[in-house]
């Protein structure tokens, strides 16, 4: 199903079992986790019913990526690995660029992104498909690469990272995909626009909570389905 004001190309009707299981865990985590907004977003969200500002903890983004530079080639690799990991055939380049910069300048995740991109570029063939990416990245022996892959999926579907709370300044060691890590994790969101464009809303055929679902008085008319 697709609404007339959809911002994305049609979402694939089938999601492989591994990705579906991962998204189910995302849904459970999102229902119980705390929320963190970056200081650079300067966004004020309000509780839907109470109208009070949502409490938030700000973190300081890095001035630049930790040990690498962002350019067009890096963006192409970012989009390529994003398509393979999310199962989405088309991605908005403007949003992709925003997500890449958020990932690259997050103090806990900057190194993870570069390890992820390096692993993607190292796959033989130059244009790897989902199966190659699954073997080389999702099932990688490098826990930092696996952690980066999971954060990338969170980013596209939820528009947020899901990481341990750490607001100390400066870059950190890369996050590890470690089941034994019992630290409390929080959702780290970006801008309100990114929140409203998380792909999870298309999956469940709904608009993001606390955001308008269409033009003025859209609710008074029967939805148009393409």
What is the per-residue pLDDT for 23?
58
Domain-embedded: residue 213: yes
Question: pLDDT tens, 149-158?
Answer: 999 999 999 8
Q: State CA 175 to chain mean position distance.
A: 15
**Furthest C-alpha separation in the chain:** 54
DSSP 218: G
Domain-embedded: residue 8: no
Domain-embedded: residue 145: yes
Per-residue pLDDT of the chain (226 residues; tens, 9 = 90+): 444 344 444 444 444 545 555 555 555 555 444 444 444 343 334 333 333 334 455 788 999 999 999 999 999 999 999 999 998 888 999 999 999 999 999 999 999 999 999 999 999 987 888 889 989 999 999 999 999 999 999 999 989 999 998 878 888 999 999 999 998 888 888 888 888 888 877 776 666 565 555 565 555 666 666 5
The per-residue pLDDT of the chain, averaged, comes to 77
Strands 34-36 and 185-189: parallel
Strands 160-164 and 34-36: unpaired
Domain-embedded: residue 1: no
The dihedral region occupied by 75, where left means phi > 0, alpha psi between -120 and 50, and beta the remainder, is alpha
What is the per-residue pLDDT for 37?
45
What is the per-residue pLDDT for 3?
41
Quickly list DSSP for 6-61.
Answer: -SSSPPPS---HHHHHHHHHHHHHHHH-EEE--TTT----B-TTT-PBPP----PP
What is the per-residue pLDDT for 210?
53
Domain-embedded: residue 6: no
State the sign of the Cα–Cα–Cα–Cα dihedral 28, 29, 33, 38. negative
Domain-embedded: residue 147: yes
Domain-embedded: residue 5: no
Domain that holds residue 181: 17-220
Domain-embedded: residue 176: yes
CA distance 7 to 214: 11
Number of domains into which the chain is organized: 1
What is the per-residue pLDDT for 6?
42
CA distance 162 to 34: 10
CB atoms inside a 10 Å sphere around CB 172: 17
């Amino acid at each position: 199903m697709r609404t007339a004001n959809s911002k994305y190309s049609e979402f694939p009707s089938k999601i492989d079992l591994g990705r579906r299981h991962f998204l189910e865990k995302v849904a459970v985590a999102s229902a119980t986790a705390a929320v963190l907004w970056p200081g650079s977003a300067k966004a004020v969200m309000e509780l839907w019913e109470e109208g009070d500002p949502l409490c938030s903890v700000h973190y300081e983004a890095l001035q630049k990526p930790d040990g690498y530079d962002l350019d067009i080639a890096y963006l192409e690799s970012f989009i390529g690995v994003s398509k393979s990991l999310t199962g989405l055939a088309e991605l908005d380049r403007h949003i992709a660029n925003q997500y890449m910069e958020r990932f690259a300048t997050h103090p806990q995740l900057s190194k993870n992104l570069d390890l992820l991109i390096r692993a993607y570029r190292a796959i033989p063939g130059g244009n790897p498909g989902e199966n190659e990416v699954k073997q080389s990245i999702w099932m990688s022996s490098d826990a930092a690469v696996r952690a980066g892959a999971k954060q990338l999926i969170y980013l596209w579907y939820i528009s947020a990272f899901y990481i341990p709370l750490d607001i100390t300044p400066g870059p950190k060691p890369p996050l590890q995909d470690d089941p034994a890590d019992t630290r409390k994790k929080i959702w780290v969101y970006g801008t309100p626009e990114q929140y409203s464009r998380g792909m999870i809303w298309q999956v469940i055929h709904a608009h993001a909570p606390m955001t308008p679902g269409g033009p003025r008085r859209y609710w008074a008319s029967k939805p148009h389905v393409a």
